[in-house]
Amino acid sequence: MLSIEFRKLKSTGFLPSIVIGGILAALIPILNTAARPDTFTSQTGPVLSILLTANAQMILLLHLILVICGACTMFHTEYAGRALNHMLALPLRPEGLYLKKAVILILCFLLLLTLEAAGLTFCASRWFGLSEDFFPELIRYLGSIALLSLPTILFMLLIALLNENMWVSLGIGITFLSMATVLADGPFALKLVPFLTPFAGLEETCTVLAAGDTFSGDLKNLLLCAVAETIILIIAAIPAARTRRYTL
């Protein structure tokens, strides 16, 4: 049950960290715009595109850092005190533990996106004024980032599942994240690597919004590939969870 998974995380500070980190990330566009309002209000083009171009990459970076730390914390609670060893005697499906944690982490990521949406909406209403197309564009942006981030979330949880040492999982996640910030402009095949996909999709989304288009070909391809990667990672997690569980 998801309620049991939430109770496991109570003593870890997981949920307060997600909320506080999400609020700090949502404050980035507000503080940035408040510090130099003339720089932003003097630009032409869609309001959301202006705000995202200046702030979205930093916000996404903080969100993925929270995902990495959250995934490591989730499985650290299972490996600490050899809790998984005791669960071997229970009639539970090994992959169920992974999938429940995936659902929780995805819900937390959606919470982060909701806080980001609140920050962007405040900026737009305070310094620009809300246009008719602001909310449709915002929903389209949030939906794209949520879908493009699914492979990253599932991949990070898979890393945390396979590594009993939390610091190994954390190091792998930070390494991939560091690569993503500098390699997102590479060839299309490279953009399909988890952690790189959200940043590549973010750049494509900002370009599409600035041009006033609906979707570009590259963005559509990234979204389709993200769906395929999500399915592949869920399928791959089943044998990985079963093998890891019975080799502890």
Domain boundaries of the chain, sorted by first residue = 2-245
What is the mean predicted confidence (pLDDT) over 94-102? 83
What is the mean predicted confidence (pLDDT) over 70-84? 78
Report the C-alpha gap between 5 and 174 in whole angstroms.
Answer: 25
Residue 216 pLDDT: 65
Residue 107 pLDDT: 93
Residue 118 pLDDT: 94
Percent of the residues in the chain that have a pLDDT greater than 90, as a whole number: 35
Residue 83 pLDDT: 62
Model pLDDT for residues 164-216, shown as the tens digit of each residue: 888 899 999 999 898 887 776 777 788 888 888 888 888 777 777 766 666 66
Residues 6+ apart with CB under 8 A from 187: none
Determine contact, residues 175/136, Cβ cutoff 8 Å: no
pTM here is 0.89
Report the C-alpha gap between 85 and 245 in whole angstroms.
Answer: 8
Query: Could you give the residue ranges of the DSSP H alpha helices within 127-195?
Result: 134-162, 166-183, 188-191
Q: Is the pLDDT of residue 45 over 90?
A: no
Residue 150 pLDDT: 94
Lowest mean per-residue pLDDT among 32-36, 144-148, 238-242: 238-242
What is the mean predicted confidence (pLDDT) over 214-231? 84
Report the C-alpha gap between 145 and 113 in whole angstroms.
Answer: 9
Determine contact, residues 62/21, Cβ cutoff 8 Å: yes
Report the C-alpha gap between 97 and 105 in whole angstroms.
Answer: 12
Residue 248 pLDDT: 55
Residue 66 pLDDT: 94
**Residue 247 φ/ψ, nearest 5 degrees:** -115, 10
Residue 174 pLDDT: 92
> Mean pLDDT across the chain, nearest whole number?
85
| Residue in the block written with tokens 């599932």 | 154
In this structure, how many other beta carbons lie within 10 angstroms of the beta carbon of residue 239?
Answer: 11
Both tokens assigned to 86 = 């005791």
Q: What angle do CA 145, 149, 152 make, to 5 degrees?
A: 165
**Burial classification of residue 107, based on how many CB atoms lie within 10 Å of its CB (0-12 exposed, 13-18 middle, 19 or more buried):** exposed
Residue 215 pLDDT: 63
Model pLDDT for residues 103-114, shown as the tens digit of each residue: 999 999 999 999
Lowest mean per-residue pLDDT among 136-150, 200-214, 229-243: 200-214
